[in-house]
Structure 1
Amino acid sequence: MESVYHMMATTLSEHFGVPEEHIHPDATFEELDIDSLARVEMLAVVEDRLKVTLDQEPRGTTLGEAATQVERLLAGGTGGAAAAAGPPPGAGPASLPGPLL
């Protein structure tokens, strides 16, 4: 299985046109010219590829920090993830509290 970091790096390169030589774990989203809207879109791509819905938005100022937090969420460490099959019948729309990445 592809690592979360690699998936995020590939997404930044393929979907957002960030040059590969600029992508590294210590790169901040600001340095990569990724604004909050692009972060939301990147998170949606990652959730789609992983077939999960994160219960909490990952926080972090660098790509490596965000990837590490997504891995923790997937492992159930600080928020967890639900299968992307969808919410149970009658459940309202999902919300993701807190700042993104």
Structure 2
Amino acid sequence: MPAIYPLIVSTLTDEFGLVAEEIHPGANFNELGLDSLALVELSIIVQEQIGIQLDDIDKDATLADIAAYLETAINERAAGAEDPRPAQGVGSTSR
């Protein structure tokens, strides 16, 4: 599991009041009861915390999907890649 995963879990528990024991890598946002407004809020929080923009998060995206995307974006930024692309449709099956 990417190192960013604990940050995602702590954000979900601290900001959205979810119970840590109910959060697992295979859970999707729909299962966790997060609506589209909550996903927008999560995107803003993530951008403020680590500077990576998430756009159009699919409610069926799993936490593992989001963690993998963020880990890749962080590694690209560390490697000197220019501003990582915003995630478009993260977790979407239509890619």
Same fold (TM over 0.5): yes
Give the superposed CA RMSD: 2.9
The separation in 2 between residues aligned to 1:37 and 1:74, in whole angstroms, is 25
In proportion to residue count, which structure has more helix?
Answer: 2
In structure 2, what is the equivalent of residue 27 of structure 1?
A: 27
Give the aligned residue type for 1:15: E
With over 3 angstroms needed to count, the CA separation of the structure-2 counterparts of 1:75 and 1:38, relative to structure 1, is same
Paired-residue identity, %: 29
- Runs of 4+ displaced beyond 6 Å: none
Gaps spanning 5+ residues in structure 2: where?
Answer: none
In structure 2, what is the equivalent of residue 49 of structure 1?
A: 49
In structure 1, what is the equivalent of residue 89 of structure 2?
A: 99
In structure 2, what is the equivalent of residue 90 of structure 1?
A: none
Q: For the pair shown, which has the larger CA radius of gyration, 1 or 2?
A: 1
The separation in 1 between residues aligned to 2:87 and 2:72, in whole angstroms, is 17
Summarize deviations over 1:8-52 as a string: whole Å, max 9, x none: 1101101101111111101111110112221121121122111x2
Report the TM-score, using the length of structure 1 for normalisation: 0.65
Q: Secondary structure at 1:76's aligned position in 2?
A: helix
Is residue 66–residue 90 contact of structure 2 (8 Å, CA) maintained in 1? no
The separation in 2 between residues aligned to 1:69 and 1:63, in whole angstroms, is 10
Give the aligned residue type for 1:33: G
Gaps spanning 5+ residues in structure 1: where?
Answer: 83-95
In structure 2, what is the equivalent of residue 11 of structure 1?
A: 11
